[in-house]
Structure 1
Amino acid sequence: MYTGSCHCGAVRMTLPSRPEVATACNCSLCRRIGGPWVYFEFGTVRIEGHPEATAAYIWGDRTLRTIHCRTCGCVTHWEPLQATAGAKHGVNLGNFDPELIASVRVRRFDGAHSWTFIDA
């Protein structure tokens, strides 16, 4: 089991499997939030304390909401506003054990300009 939480523990997440790859994005939001992000099929990540302990931020094309803890402010995940078949769920890996973070390959994504991966 791979479990993590926000700083105060009000929001807890359990991943369905060990992530193989994470994404570090430089878009206007992600560069402020941090990360890196790992992605799973929507509904497969167990999130406890949500929605009572969380607040959402919706921006841009208004297709997803970025979720943070109401108490400590840590961004925990994002989720689609309209969950459709195959929809993804982004989880902030920064809320997990440092050993897990260190074991995952992180790819750099240029979300600010080219919308492509900028690593080898």
Structure 2
Amino acid sequence: MARRTEPVVATCHCGAVRITVPRVSRTLTSCNCSICRRYNGLWAYYAASSVTIEAPKNGFSKYSWKRKIRAYCRCKKCGCVTHYEYRRKRRNAIVAVNAVNFEPAALEGARIRHLDGAASWKFLD
């Protein structure tokens, strides 16, 4: 099947949060760290400048811990974890979109890499 090249939208369960990206990433990351395994994170990474996030004003709850490097964002209405962003603004900033919020057909053909975030921080495949 040919890869989609047009913009794709990820939504939370209630539809209040919509994230538009240029295309579904060819490679997704499944991490087993303490937070990703609880959030069922399947991450697709994009340049922040290429991501459009639409949500009601104050429609997110954000969570960070320890060194507060990342802010994990979830819809305040339905609770779906939609993305994370780095708290410190960088020139080449990225946004990690939780790919479980794309329609399943959009993920066809994507490769899933397994990251050992619980121990070695190395890819297992």
Q: TM-score range by the shorter chain?
A: over 0.9
Equivalences, count: 119
TM-score computed with the length of structure 2 as normaliser: 0.89
Amino acid paired to 1:112: A
Which residue in 2 is equivalent to 1:60?
A: 66
* Residue 92 of structure 1, aligned match among 95, 98, 111: 98
**Cα gap change, 1:116 to 1:17, in 2 (>3 Å):** same
Structure 2 spans left out of the alignment, 5+ residues: 1-6
> Percent of pairs identical after alignment?
40
Cα contact 1:42–1:83 (8 A) shared by 2: no
| Equivalent AA in structure 1 for residue 51 of structure 2 | V
Are the structure 2 counterparts of residues 39 and 106 from structure 1 closer, same or farther at C-alpha, using a change threshold of 3 Å? same
Identify, as 1 or 2, the structure richer in strand: 1
Aligned match for 1:25, one of 19, 24, 31? 31
User: Quick check: 1:37–1:90 contact (8 Å CA) kept in 2?
Assistant: yes
Which residue does the alignment assign to 2:3?
Answer: none
Letter in 1 for 2:42: P
Q: 1:118 to 1:6 in 2, by over 3 A?
A: same
**Which blocks of at least 5 consecutive residues in structure 1 are unaligned?**
none
Q: Post-superposition, which runs of at least 4 consecutive aligned residues in structure 1 deviate over 4 A?
A: none
Q: Tell me by how many angstroms 1:83 deviates.
A: 1.4
2:10 equivalent to 1:4: yes
Alpha carbon RMSD of aligned pairs, Å? 1.2
The aligned residue for residue 43 of structure 1 is 49
